[in-house]
Amino acid sequence: MIHHVVSWTVREDLDRDTVVTHIRELLTGLVGRIDSIRSLEVVENVAYPGKNQDVAVVATFEDLTGLDEYQVHPEHQAAAAEIRGLVTGRAAIDWES
């Protein structure tokens, strides 16, 4: 199983709650549309605002091939492009268990 986590900091000139909701809608909307997604959740930071990032996606895939399929899927690419316009920082990690 591949675990995929990406977190972002919302741009300061945008309403945080609105952006988090929009990111959640964009990414959870991919479930059922991209077959390789085994699970996907969008979570919001609740501690240490200003130090922690604001929002993250936590997803799982059967294997690295599944993660690669997700990464290059046109619907994921469109969602990622939209998210890039809403955030200032990004961090990611992928691991296998």
Please write the tens of the pLDDT for every residue from 2-58: 999 999 999 999 999 999 999 999 999 999 999 999 999 999 999 998 899 999 999
Residue-level pLDDT at 50: 86
CB 85 within 8 A of CB 23: no
Domain count along the chain: 1
27 is in which domain, residue-wise? 2-96
- pTM for the model: 0.95
Query: Which CATH number goes with the domain that contains 72?
Result: 3.30.70.100
Banded model confidence at residue 67, pLDDT cuts 50, 70, 90? very high
What does DSSP say about strands 37-44 and 2-10: parallel, antiparallel, or unpaired?
Answer: unpaired
Quick check: 64 and 3 in contact, CB under 8 A?
A: no
